Amino acid sequence: MNQYKFQFRFVRILIIGFLIFFLFLPYASGEVTEVDSNFDGKMDQWRYLSLEGKVSKIKYDTDYNGSIDQIEYYEGKKKLVKVEFDSNKDELMDHTQYYSKSGKLAKVEKDSNYDGVFDWIEFFNENENIIRIEIDKNGDSHADIFQYFDGNQKLMRIDHDTDQNRKADRWDYFTNEKLIRVEFDTNSDFKPDQWQYFLGSNIIEKVENDTNFDGKVDYWEYFDSSGKLTRRESDRNYDGKPDLVQNQ
């Protein structure tokens, strides 16, 4: 008799357990609220709740064409942490914005040419001012162009990795977003050995070269205001002073 009572009790507990599981399954999986925000008879917003009943995600059809083109992700008390966009309306997310713990924009990732690969990253400081942009031009998942900005969000330098060895070999310098100097590493020793100087409107003024790669300039070229070469100077014995001057 005790054995039958035990079995009956076990079956009853099992049935109750299944009832509780299926009864609360929708809540365990999270609820979804659908909204027709423009009253056209079509749903264009979907709000997802977490296990705690808090908003975890919202999907939008912002242009009401039947396709989701924006997704917002939340943590805690509806704190926005990430937003995804389909900016060219091809049903693929190509723009992602990340937010810091304080709710400020911290990073943006883009698929700039809409080929399915994210190739552009923007970084922001605590004031949401842009400080750096990294660009992957050849699609190898490694940035080869790095743009740096000053406190006024003006471009001050661009580093290039032209031979894709993950080391910069060209450096562009700007003042008030105008190009003033470009440095090149022509022998891949990670040090500049050619310096180009520019006037306004990107007109070249002077070129310096370290032809023997000893860290010292030994060949100079000078240009007039129209960019025409006017003079060449050479330091043939590498003592730091030109000993051959050729006027053009």
pLDDT in tens, 76-95: 989 999 999 999 999 999 99
The DSSP letter of residue 15 is H
Per-residue confidence band for 9, with pLDDT thresholds at 50, 70 and 90: low
Please say whether the beta carbons of 167 and 161 come within 8 A: yes
Model pLDDT for residues 147-163, shown as the tens digit of each residue: 999 999 999 999 999 99
Q: CB under 8 Å to 129, separation ≥6 — which residues?
A: 149, 151, 153
